[in-house]
Amino acid sequence: MKHLLRAEAIAPFILSVVLLNIMPLHFAWWAWILIFLAPDLSMLGYLFGNKAGAVVYNVFHHQLVAVVIWVVGLLLHQPYVEFTGLVLLGHSSLDRVMGIGLKLPEGFSFTHLGVVGKKA
């Protein structure tokens, strides 16, 4: 089942890339590449403990949050907000493809897709 969850995560990643390509957001591809890893800065939440780290990390890696941000940008005609939502969606989806899921409060290595890293 874990492999199925990872495999189906490729669809939102492809969707985010396609939408970034067809929508008139007027951003260069290098900008997307440059900030694609920015959501991983949410790992800094772990400086305040496992529970706080998991909450902060999950807010920046939850796909529904990404979609809501994108839709709000669409409704308000705010290209930067749209761009942010699509980057978050693409980033979180690619993380899922690689087996990195939403974090559990037990620690950074514990995700909804299983244990990752050295503890696996």
**pLDDT tens digit string along 7-26?**
888 999 999 999 988 888 77
pLDDT of residue 33 exceeding 70, the answer is yes
The domain ranges of the chain are 2-113
- The pTM of the full predicted model, rounded to 2 decimals, is 0.88
Distances (CA, A) of 74 to 56, 64, 67, 106: 25, 15, 10, 37
**pLDDT tens digit string along 95-106?**
999 989 899 999
